[in-house]
Homo-oligomer: A and B are copies of this chain.
Amino acid sequence: MTLISADGTILRMPRSEPTALTLLRRTHEAQVVELLRRLGALSRAELGRRTGLSRTALSSITGSLIGRGVVVTAPAAPARGTRGRGRPVDLLRLNPAIGRCAGVDLGRGRVRAVVSNAAHEIIGSESRPYPRRTSWEERTAIALELLDTVLGGGSDGLEGIGIGLYGPVGPATERASAAVRLFGERYGVPVLVDNNTRLAALAEAVHGAGAGTRHSVYVRLSHGVGGGLVVDGRLLRGASGAAGEIGHVPADPRGPRCHCGGRGCLELYASLPAVEAAGGLGDDAAVERAGRLTGQVLAGLCNTLDPELIVVGGELAGCGERLLAPLEAELRARALPAVRQGLRITAERLGDSGGALGAIALVRQESPAPRLARQPYPAAAGTGCTGPVVSG
């Protein structure tokens, strides 16, 4: 007998104590569910590669998960250029009716709320602008109202909420703790908070321009210059939560003093205000200089981090090749051969939704997994497991 509770937990009545063999199998099942939970849709081949399970073992596990309605199949969109070759591959994903996640990006000028389901489909997305002088209390009130709207009247099946904030976000950031309290009390689910530019980096790495990569650098050229690093698939936060401040790497060590205390920081040359002061986004020379100096700073960073992908975002990325061509030329001229060989440089894909989508990716990566994934077998100290359990 299988019961699926309101929050997607699979509840089963054990018939007898499990054997070591069935426990091993359940661990494998949990691995499969966890991979689909984190990564969305995967082919059987990709699942096999990532779990290390044999075709036979994997087929038996996915068959059982499909039979129980936890996993569903859908044909993959044919890759460009492969149309007609071979038969289409089925992708496996978690049943979209379970495991919703919400992402809220509390930016300087607007809030955006996005909700996705366990199949990583976006089932709601809204944004609302506010003036820059809006107080923290007013911003969060607007955010809560917007999230209520996007959730469509209830937090049933909500697995967690991710929140992106502008400015530095570390373990000691007061706004972060306030957000965790506020959203946690309102919705009764785990809440995770991070800097919204770092979250955009994560979103691009998981769902956007970097889908499938393990090591990427995201740089946002906007009112300020910021960024985020994804190392081995996870966001790098640093010791105090300040990691990713690419805008404060010197582009010219003997350049003018920056507000941060440093000298000749990249932000002084490649931010929107800097480009506007040098001629504006329409001025080729101004955009070219921003691209070139960004490429120069990224070269040093790449020699240290050796990423496979650079994603360029923010308003300046809208200049396309006028920015990216000089950026890439300078980067390739200065990076070590081993580093530049496998390196790809591209514009961001997710735009203004990146922060909120990254907040969701953060929850899927780091929040306590739903019972579905972590407890394929009722815990020893659990309840009787005969009816729905409310999450939170």
Contacts and interface: CB of A to CB of B under 8 A. Distances in A.
Nearest to A245: B303
A20 B241 CA distance: 39
B300 A250 contact: yes
A4 to B, nearest CB: 21
A248 B307 contact: no
A239 B307 contact: yes
Contact of A339 (B231, B240, B308): B240
B338 A306 contact: no
A358 interface: no
Contacts of A23: 23
A70 interface: no
Given A17-B19, A249-B300, A336-B260, A238 B306 contact: yes
Interface string A328-362: 00000111111101110000000000000000000
A108 interface: no
Contact of A245 (B170, B246, B339): B339
B238 A307 contact: yes
A79 interface: no
A392 interface: no
Contacts of A246: 303-304
Contact of A243 (B243, B252, B304): B304
Given A20-B377, A21-B380, A253-B251, A336 B261 contact: yes
Interface string A221-263: 0000001010110101111111111101111110000001111
Copies of this protein, total = 2
Given A18-B20, A335-B262, A336-B261, A305 B250 contact: no
- Contact size class for A? 35 or more
Most B C-beta atoms less than 10 A away, residue of A170, A231, A234: A231
Most B C-beta atoms less than 10 A away, residue of A215, A244, A301, A334: A334
A296 interface: yes
Contacts of A241: 306, 338
Contacts of A303: 242, 245-246, 248-249, 262
Given A19-B17, A24-B380, A214-B239, A250 B304 contact: no
A1 interface: no
Nearest to A258: B334
Given A245-B336, A246-B304, 16 more contacts: A168-B338, A229-B304, A237-B306, A238-B339, A239-B343, A240-B341, A240-B342, A242-B338, A243-B305, A243-B306, A245-B304, A246-B303, A248-B303, A262-B335, A300-B301, A301-B304
Q: Which 10 A-B pairs have the closest CB atoms?
A: A238-B306, A249-B300, A239-B308, A243-B306, A21-B380, A242-B338, A242-B306, A248-B303, A245-B303, A262-B334
